[in-house]
Structure 1
């Protein structure tokens, strides 16, 4: 059990750093909510205190939503350890530039192929991945992926507030941290 607000902040930072690096981390795939209350699970690609990076398709409805109303919430949960971390922040979409280019370069061709298919939410007559048939289960070459890059972007979230919650049989604990000012306080669960 963490007993000081400084240890809570350190715990949250360590958990988010681990979540970005370890795909087996319970917090690797948080729930991201946009201002219109649309929620989805996304893969956390990077954490740089106090910012998050995700990958997205520029054709996804969330992109327009974020560009018009950039406030987002992200929920991380580790059931085994009974820790929930909720964060709020300001999001932005970067299609081009050094961050987006580096994220594209560090992705595998197998992951990049997702951006070759139909845009998210496209209507289909039968169940489909949206990928062109030539790439179902196959890894495209660098040349075949050239058209995919224009559909790729990064979603960056600058965090403002962190709500840390620990569920425990002997009593839950909760802390709220204003990441902009550094102020923190214990609050009732």
Structure 2
């Protein structure tokens, strides 16, 4: 149990950095909510502790992209059941389709992961159950040349966290703190 807000801030940074780097972390797949009251689980790809930014990959054709571009407010909820720590992040998001960061994120992805951007756009209607992928890639990994058209559908969602609500569940008494990106922090009743 932490007794200082500096310890809480360090805990938040360590948990989110681990979540981005470790696919076995319980916070690796947080819930991401947009202003249309829609929520989905996404993979946290990167966390920058100095700037409080989180990076996710998304399909540029996804409905959430239009929602974020219309109203960038966003929230993220992550929970570590074993540690009994909940993080609620509030901030703004932006969609990046081009540039060094997006190119690096694309390059870091495997061809198997990139194939998701070859198929139908998220939410496309189908008369039969479908993965949305072209049939030839249902089970097989495309090569680099086959993936060229997928790149235009790939985008990066970057969330700038402005506030993080840290909540620790404990039998002897819960603790909660709210921290702002620019340093303000306070303990609050759970």
TM bin (shorter chain): over 0.9
Could you say what the CA RMSD is over the residues aligned between the two structures, in angstroms? Answer: 0.6
Asked whether 1:15 is paired with 2:9, we answer: no
Structure 1 distance, partners of 2:125, 2:24, is 33
Match of 1:63 among 54, 62, 65: 65
Structure 2 distance, partners of 1:171, 1:73, is 26
Structure 2 distance, partners of 1:178, 1:154, is 24
Matches within 5 A, 1:110-121: 110-121=112-123
Superposition deviation, residue 102 in structure 1: 0.6
Structure 2 distance, partners of 1:178, 1:37, is 23
Structure 1 distance, partners of 2:19, 2:129, is 31
- Paired residues in the alignment total 188
Structure 1 distance, partners of 2:130, 2:158, is 29
Structure 1 distance, partners of 2:86, 2:139, is 35
SS of the residue 1:14 aligns to: helix
Structure 2 distance, partners of 1:178, 1:80, is 26
Residue aligning to 1:36: 36
SS of the residue 1:72 aligns to: strand
SS of the residue 1:162 aligns to: strand
Superposition deviation, residue 90 in structure 1: 1.0
Superposition deviation, residue 62 in structure 1: 0.3
SS of the residue 2:10 aligns to: helix
TM-score, length of structure 2 as denominator length: 0.98
Residue aligning to 1:187: 188
Superposition deviation, residue 137 in structure 1: 1.4
Structure 1 distance, partners of 2:130, 2:189, is 46
Structure 1 unaligned runs (5+)? none
Residue aligning to 1:149: 151
Structure 2 distance, partners of 1:167, 1:37, is 26
Structure 1 distance, partners of 2:42, 2:168, is 23
Asked whether 1:95 is paired with 2:97, we answer: yes
Structure 1 distance, partners of 2:125, 2:158, is 28
